[in-house]
Amino acid sequence: MRVALLGGSLRPGSLNAHLLRHLAGQLEARDHGVSVFAGESLRLPLYEDGLAASAEILALHGALLAAQGLVIVSPEYNAGIPGHLKNAVDWLSTLKPSPWPGLPVLLCAASPGAFGGARGLVAWRATLANMGALALPEALTVPHADQQLDAHGAPTDARTASAVPKILDGFLSLAARLRS
């Protein structure tokens, strides 16, 4: 299966980008192909009516069209979606064909806070539903992520470490049923 992963902030030390790369490694270890969009590849022009999509946006669009599922690993900014990720989503929603309808999505978030970015995922669910994407009901959240992720983004606490394979299994099973 081919899975695209999108997320993290633009800062080099992004906890969400570290977690994203860990999840990408876990998917590769299960023999799935991954397309990773994190860090500088998300420094996209702000969406503007009439502005042509850049090569980076077209690459993201192509990867989502080719993928059987998408993993989003999102920071939470003010209980919502960070601007650079919302901008990427908005660009993608303007391109034809839209990659969103029927796309299986796994939502993940990491935050130094106690809620692990869970409130931002509520905003993600509303946006994804509006575009017709199918978010898995379960989500992966990592609270206190500044202490509970190692340098490679692997969870160090038992709860999250055991949650990762279970949630990946659930997501891959949904994606296989919807997009085999």
**What is the distance between the alpha carbons of residues 2 and 77, in angstroms, rounded to a whole number?**
29
For ligand FMN, give the closer residue by CB, 46 or 79: 79
For ligand FMN, give the closer residue by CB, 17 or 106: 17
CB atoms within 10 A of CB 168: 19
**What is the distance between the alpha carbons of residues 22 and 154, in angstroms, rounded to a whole number?**
6
CB of 47 to ligand FMN, least distance (A): 20
CB of 54 to ligand FMN, least distance (A): 23
Closest CA to 121 of 142, 100, 103, 102: 142
For ligand FMN, give the closer residue by CB, 42 or 134: 42
CB of 144 to ligand FMN, least distance (A): 10
Task: Kindly state the tokens that stand for 160.
Answer: 């999250």
CA distances from 131 to 16, 57, 141 (A): 23, 18, 23
For ligand FMN, give the closer residue by CB, 8 or 104: 8
CB of 174 to ligand FMN, least distance (A): 25
Interface residues with ligand FMN (CB under 6 A)? 8-9, 11, 14-17, 75-79, 111-113, 115, 117
